[in-house]
Amino acid sequence: MIESRLLCSLVPEAMEYNGGIFAALDEDDEALAPDFIEACLDSGIPAKALPVSKALDLEPGLNPAIRAAVWVPDGSFDAFRVPLAFFAAARALGARIHAWNEVVGFERSGNRVIAARVLDRSVQPAAERRIAADYFVSATGAWAGIVGRLAGVAVDVTPAPGTMVALRGRMTDRVLSHLHPAGDGDIVVPQRGLIIVGTTERVTEDPESLLPPAEDIAFLRSRAAALVPAAASAEIHAAWCAARPLAGRAGNLDSGRSLSRDFVVVDHAERDGLGGLCTLVGGKATVLRAMAEKAADLVCRELGVEASCRSADFALPSWRDYYRELPSWAQ
């Protein structure tokens, strides 16, 4: 939650931080409320019981049959513009960002990675070139295993696709969740004129070109409708599927949920005897800044730089700045 709050101050223009409501739909779930609130408070999350009448007053679209409600700090954010704001800041500080360049291999000198070979698709025809660097961080999400193999190291990451469904109509201003043990289809998130219903989870080997299964779409709509009845008849705006990068290897195709959403920075010098490379594994969008901080700390240690990370200290420039500059090839 600390990172979520931090993002509100770093990238306020990409956040809808309006709070959230966990709602219980039956007696079993209602009985969970006291333990849920206590667990939140123990974790530093200021949850509080919300009278059902108050919850319905705040969110008239909620199912009037809910039996208990808990308010939590929560929100949604534009998952594309938040990283763009970080990219814009990095470039303002001197970084060069090679969009449309796919890593196709690494060069070694002894037991150290010294360069990446990339296929530059920003030129026609695409051309392979070499980018040398003192250190490489692989922050490649669900593709971390594939990129690791290019460097000759094994990276334990499990691509875990989940389906999301966007329904037309902003049926809530707050994030709504089932007060229920964590499972599939337990959250409804408002964004602009939509609600987005998430999610399911399975695991796969290949994170590319994923399409949403029809049964997932029907399931998610029904779970959303239990919280917000209007979702039952709302028009489907879009449905899609994308892979989370879970740290570790799932033992079978149904065991993705047993893997943690935590992140780790794998130092390949320490683990594999290959210097000049680390891999960020796991994590999720809300902790992207913290993930970068841990990786940057490792790079600083490697390069002998004594400085603390300052990425929590500055409001970022507008995400628009990332695109405002015409790339050199287009001028």
Q: Which residues of 75-107 are buried (b: 16+ CB within 10 A; e: fewer)?
A: bbbbeebbbbbbbbbbeeeeeeeeeebebeebe
Q: Cβ closer to another protein: 13 or 254?
A: 13
String of contacts with another protein for each residue 290-319, x by CB under 8 A: ----------------------------xx
Residue bearing tokens 């609130």: 37
String of contacts with another protein for each residue 58-77, x by CB under 8 A: -----------------x--
Q: 2: buried, middle or exposed (CB in 10 Å: 19+, 13-18, 0-12)?
A: exposed
Q: Cβ closer to another protein: 133 or 211?
A: 211
CA distance 31 to 68: 9
What DSSP string runs through 122-157? TSSS-EEEEEE-S-EEE--GGGHHHHHHHHT----E
Per CB under 8 A, does 79 bind another protein? yes
Q: Cβ closer to another protein: 36 or 322?
A: 322
- In the list 101, 191, 204, 311, the residue contacting another protein (rule: CB under 8 A) is 191
Token pair for residue 46?
């200021």
- In the list 34, 46, 53, 100, the residue contacting another protein (rule: CB under 8 A) is 100
How far CA 132 is from CA of 7, 114, 117, 264, 270, in Å, comes to 32, 6, 9, 25, 22
- In the list 128, 173, 215, 262, the residue contacting another protein (rule: CB under 8 A) is 173
Tally of CA atoms within 13 A in the half-sphere of 324 that contains its CB: 11
Eight-state DSSP code of residue 316: P
- In the list 46, 51, 181, 327, the residue contacting another protein (rule: CB under 8 A) is 327
Q: Cβ closer to another protein: 210 or 300?
A: 210
- For another protein, the binding residues in 236-265 under the rule CB under 8 A are 236-240, 242
Cβ(165)–Cβ(217) below 8 Å? yes
String of contacts with another protein for each residue 107-146, x by CB under 8 A: --------------xx-xxx--------------------
Q: 231: buried, middle or exposed (CB in 10 Å: 19+, 13-18, 0-12)?
A: buried
Per CB under 8 A, does 193 bind another protein? yes
Token pair for residue 111?
């037991």
- In the list 44, 94, 205, 209, the residue contacting another protein (rule: CB under 8 A) is 209
The least CB distance from residue 103 to another protein, in Å, is 14
Angle between helices 288-303 and 2-10 (to 10 degrees): 90
The least CB distance from residue 161 to another protein, in Å, is 12
- For another protein, the binding residues in 8-27 under the rule CB under 8 A are 12-18
Q: In sequence order, which residues have a C-beta less than 8 Å from that of residue 125 and are 6 or more positions away? A: none
The site for another protein (CB under 8 A) is made up of 12-18, 75, 78-81, 100, 121-122, 124-126, 164, 166, 170, 173, 190-194, 196, 208-211, 214, 217, 236-240, 242, 318-320, 323-327, 330
